[in-house]
């Protein structure tokens, strides 16, 4: 039986493609069992955004512990306790799950302190390793009640240095709380009573791990991937396990033409559908978080082209977006070590860009007159980018009042966010070209930098977008645009620079073609004035 890719909950290695992740499993096992298992294990929190494979990792740990037979072990999900508001109700849910898991009765408890009686030698014949999944689905007050008791139990065990694990006052040898870092950390206004835990982050898959999964598919199915397809899938997802499996599923099942080789064209067809037409719970969750009023401004600022945002886990806005998979961070090491915010993957960034662009500019109004001569901008065979941007500038000036009436603005100066203009330009170009051409956004760095590629009559035009701030950044932008165009094997690229105001003298002075001395790539700078 040929396995399948699956992004619907925990995977089964017997029927789904996966990657061993043995080092991560070994680390989780070691944390729970302890360096010296006769003394005790650790209490850990396990955190990562959705669909990182948290549950699957601990399912493998559970199987290993069960095989060795030294501990009683349980993995329970508390998702069914979502919405419970009383101590008695949530403790009853826990006891019910323990009863069903072990197949033996446990006593009814109604108060937090009775947890210590529950996890005792009266009900367990061996030390217990307990894994509570979806723990952060509980209300904060209930989480705090649990972790206070867990801390007491851990401290009690640690203090009993003269006893082996099986002889200590409670049997809770090791504990893992999955998906709880936000609840136990910065979002808990009362502070975290659970200050004894170690933290186990779950990273994305590496390139080698993704290539391994796809090579496994080739071996089992007999169908191969064309050169570059596997690497492209990794690049677009950055190894996010849920997205890797989802795009893998779409490519090998839904959009599989069943030819001997899956080509880059097959990937592009699938990818276009994934970006524009298909729902995905992970992506829908990310969008739902990014569009919330408190966090939307952070996301809009991340689309700015002139600066990077510093990352700090203690920033509550960044913390929320990070833990919900909306953003990631990158480390930049020069003379100093700096952390900067970035989007987690090109796919997520494109989905967010498309969402905000359509939300803000669903209606663009009239772009040109019914009988207007467009030959200065496009013909049956050619597209002229500079005149096209000139048309956009005139369109923006003529329609600015209603176009930007409800646009999000900065609180400090009420100026429209830079990203708003980028969204508007993208929607304008897409609607101006209609079926005659295609506009696709690309984000090479994951933070700030944006390029639009226009495909028209078999030709590809590159358009890099910036906001003009000063002459230093202008000169740097020319060089960067040339370097990027050279990487893409383009001989020229247009640098569109949004600026509040520019007079004709400066326009003529700086709208001069720059030829890179090393690559001979031509950069055509064009100013787009945003103010009337």
252 vs 219: CA distance, rounded Å: 13
pLDDT of amino acid 199: 76
- Judged by phi (left if over 0) then psi (alpha if -120 to 50, else beta), residue 9 lies in left
> Is residue 283 one of the residues assigned to a domain?
no
pLDDT grade for 532, boundaries at 50, 70 and 90: low
Question: Hey, which residues does 176 pair with through a beta bridge?
Answer: 44, 131
> Same structural domain for residues 157 and 303?
no
Look at residue 197 and tell me whether its pLDDT is greater than 80.
no
Look at residue 186 and tell me whether its pLDDT is greater than 70.
no
Question: Hey, which residues does 460 pair with through a beta bridge?
Answer: 455
- The upper half-sphere exposure of residue 131, i.e. CA atoms within 13 Å in the direction of its Cβ, equals 25
> Same structural domain for residues 503 and 397?
yes
pLDDT grade for 185, boundaries at 50, 70 and 90: very low
* Tens-digit pLDDT profile for residues 91-130: 999 999 999 999 999 999 999 999 999 999 999 999 999 9
Domain count along the chain: 3
* Tens-digit pLDDT profile for residues 401-450: 999 999 899 888 888 999 999 999 999 999 999 889 999 998 887 776 88
> Same structural domain for residues 218 and 365?
no
pLDDT of amino acid 11: 80
The secondary structure of residue 378, as a DSSP letter, is B
Task: Answer for the pair 53, 241: CB distance below 8 angstroms, yes or no.
Answer: yes
> Is residue 6 one of the residues assigned to a domain?
no
Look at residue 136 and tell me whether its pLDDT is greater than 70.
yes
> Is residue 108 one of the residues assigned to a domain?
yes
pLDDT grade for 1, boundaries at 50, 70 and 90: low
pLDDT of amino acid 187: 42
Query: 53-57, 193-197, 202-206, 502-506: lowest mean pLDDT where?
Result: 193-197
Phi, psi of 273 (to 5 degrees): -65, -40
358 vs 354: CA distance, rounded Å: 6
pLDDT of amino acid 335: 85
Question: Hey, which residues does 16 pair with through a beta bridge?
Answer: 4
Look at residue 139 and tell me whether its pLDDT is greater than 90.
no
The secondary structure of residue 500, as a DSSP letter, is S
Is the dihedral angle over the CA atoms 118, 120, 125, 127 positive or is it negative?
A: positive
> Is residue 333 one of the residues assigned to a domain?
yes
Look at residue 33 and tell me whether its pLDDT is greater than 90.
yes
* Tens-digit pLDDT profile for residues 504-523: 999 999 999 999 999 999 99
pTM of the model: 0.87
Across 325-350, average pLDDT: 91
> Same structural domain for residues 371 and 454?
yes
Q: Supply the range of the domain harboring residue 259.
A: 207-278
> Is residue 169 one of the residues assigned to a domain?
yes
Radius of gyration of the chain measured on its C-alpha atoms = 28
> Same structural domain for residues 97 and 144?
yes
- Which residues make Cβ contacts (< 8 Å) with residue 309, sequence separation at least 6? 298, 301, 302, 340, 341, 447
Q: β-strands 492-499, 72-77: how paired?
A: unpaired
> Same structural domain for residues 335 and 462?
yes
pLDDT grade for 48, boundaries at 50, 70 and 90: confident
Encoded tokens for 265: 């064209």
pLDDT of amino acid 191: 42
16 vs 273: CA distance, rounded Å: 23
Phi, psi of 174 (to 5 degrees): -140, 145
> Same structural domain for residues 188 and 238?
no
Question: Hey, which residues does 130 pair with through a beta bridge?
Answer: 74, 175
478 vs 464: CA distance, rounded Å: 10
- Judged by phi (left if over 0) then psi (alpha if -120 to 50, else beta), residue 49 lies in beta
> Same structural domain for residues 491 and 369?
yes
Across 335-354, average pLDDT: 93
| Percentage of residues of the chain with pLDDT beyond 90 | 66
Look at residue 270 and tell me whether its pLDDT is greater than 90.
yes
* Per-chain mean pLDDT for the chain: 90
Encoded tokens for 479: 């060089």
> Same structural domain for residues 450 and 308?
yes
| Percentage of residues of the chain with pLDDT beyond 70 | 96
Chain centroid, CA 443 distance in Å: 14
> Same structural domain for residues 488 and 379?
yes
- Which residues make Cβ contacts (< 8 Å) with residue 348, sequence separation at least 6? 240, 243, 283, 286, 325, 326
Among 174, 201, 228, residue at a domain's last position? 201
Look at residue 371 and tell me whether its pLDDT is greater than 60.
yes
Look at residue 194 and tell me whether its pLDDT is greater than 50.
no
Query: 64-78, 110-124, 157-171, 245-259: lowest mean pLDDT where?
Result: 157-171
pLDDT of amino acid 192: 44
Chain centroid, CA 419 distance in Å: 19
pLDDT of amino acid 189: 43
Provide the H-helix boundaries in 380-417: 385-403
Look at residue 7 and tell me whether its pLDDT is greater than 50.
yes
457 vs 26: CA distance, rounded Å: 54
> Is residue 135 one of the residues assigned to a domain?
yes
Look at residue 190 and tell me whether its pLDDT is greater than 50.
no
- Judged by phi (left if over 0) then psi (alpha if -120 to 50, else beta), residue 261 lies in beta
168 vs 120: CA distance, rounded Å: 9
Task: Assign residue 81 the CATH number of its domain.
Answer: 3.40.50.300
Question: Hey, which residues does 177 pair with through a beta bridge?
Answer: 45, 132
pLDDT grade for 362, boundaries at 50, 70 and 90: confident
241 vs 11: CA distance, rounded Å: 11
Three-class DSSP category at 494: strand
Look at residue 470 and tell me whether its pLDDT is greater than 50.
yes
> Is residue 464 one of the residues assigned to a domain?
yes
Can you tell me which residue has the tokens 């009559």? 457
Can you tell me which residue has the tokens 């990352």? 311
Strands (E) in 478-521, as ranges, are 492-499, 514-515
Among 201, 216, 239, residue at a domain's last position? 201
> Is residue 3 one of the residues assigned to a domain?
no
More confident residue, 52 or 453: 453
pLDDT of amino acid 289: 94
Task: Answer for the pair 161, 109: CB distance below 8 angstroms, yes or no.
Answer: no
Across 276-291, average pLDDT: 93
> Same structural domain for residues 44 and 157?
yes
> Same structural domain for residues 97 and 113?
yes
The secondary structure of residue 254, as a DSSP letter, is I
- Which residues make Cβ contacts (< 8 Å) with residue 408, sequence separation at least 6? 296, 297, 300, 360, 416, 417, 420
Task: Answer for the pair 61, 25: CB distance below 8 angstroms, yes or no.
Answer: yes
Among 239, 256, 278, residue at a domain's last position? 278
């Amino acid at each position: 039986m040929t396995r399948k890719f699956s992004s619907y909950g925990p995977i089964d290695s017997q029927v789904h493609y996966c990657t061993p992740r043995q080092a991560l499993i070994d680390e989780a096992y070691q944390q729970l069992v302890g360096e010296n298992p006769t003394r005790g294990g650790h209490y850990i929190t396990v955190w990562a955004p959705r669909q990182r494979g948290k549950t699957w990792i601990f399912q493998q740990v559970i199987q290993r512990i069960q095989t060795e037979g030294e501990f009683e072990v349980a993995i329970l999900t508390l998702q069914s306790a979502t919405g419970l508001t009383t101590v008695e109700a949530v403790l009853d849910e826990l006891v019910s799950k323990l009863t069903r898991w072990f197949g033996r009765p446990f006593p009814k408890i109604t108060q937090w302190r009775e947890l210590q009686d529950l996890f005792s030698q009266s009900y367990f014949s061996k030390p217990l390793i307990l894994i509570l999944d979806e723990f952060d689905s509980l209300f904060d007050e209930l989480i705090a009640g649990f972790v206070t008791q867990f801390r007491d139990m851990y401290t009690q065990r640690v203090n009993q240095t003269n006893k082996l694990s099986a002889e200590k006052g409670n049997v809770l040898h090791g504990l893992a709380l999955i998906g709880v870092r936000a609840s136990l950390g910065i979002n808990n206004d009362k502070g975290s009573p659970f200050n004894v835990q170690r933290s186990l982050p779950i990273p994305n898959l590496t390139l080698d791990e993704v290539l391994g999964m796809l090579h496994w598919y080739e071996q089992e199915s007999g169908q191969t991937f064309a050169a570059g397809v596997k690497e492209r899938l990794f690049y677009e997802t950055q190894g996010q396990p849920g997205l890797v499996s989802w795009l893998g599923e779409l490519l090998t099942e839904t959009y599989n033409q069943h030819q001997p080789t899956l080509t880059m064209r097959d990937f592009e067809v699938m990818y276009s559908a994934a970006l524009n037409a298909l729902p995905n719970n992970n992506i829908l969750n990310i969008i739902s978080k990014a569009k919330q009023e408190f966090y939307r401004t952070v996301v809009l600022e991340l689309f700015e082209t002139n600066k990077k945002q510093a990352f700090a886990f203690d920033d509550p806005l960044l913390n929320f977006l990070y833990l919900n998979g909306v953003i990631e961070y990158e480390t930049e090491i020069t003379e100093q070590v700096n952390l900067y915010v970035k989007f987690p993957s090109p796919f997520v960034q494109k989905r967010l860009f498309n969402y905000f662009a359509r939300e803000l500019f669903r209606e663009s109004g009239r772009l040109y007159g019914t009988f207007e001569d467009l030959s200065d901008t496009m013909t049956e065979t050619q597209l002229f980018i500079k005149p096209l941007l000139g048309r956009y500038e005139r369109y923006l000036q003529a329609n600015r009042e209603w176009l930007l009436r409800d646009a999000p603005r900065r609180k400090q100066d009420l100026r429209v966010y830079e990203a708003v203009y980028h969204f508007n330009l993208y929607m304008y170009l897409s609607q101006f070209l209609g079926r005659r051409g295609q506009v696709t956004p690309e984000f090479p760095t994951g933070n700030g930098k944006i390029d639009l590629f226009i495909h028209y009559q078999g030709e590809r035009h590159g358009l890099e977008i910036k906001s003009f701030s000063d002459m230093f950044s202008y000169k740097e932008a020319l060089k960067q645009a040339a370097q990027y165009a050279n990487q893409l094997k383009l001989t020229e690229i247009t640098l569109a620079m949004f600026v509040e105001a520019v007079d004709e003298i400066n326009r003529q002075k700086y709208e001069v073609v720059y030829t890179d001395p090393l690559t001979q790539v031509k950069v055509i700078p064009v100013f787009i004035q945003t103010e009337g």
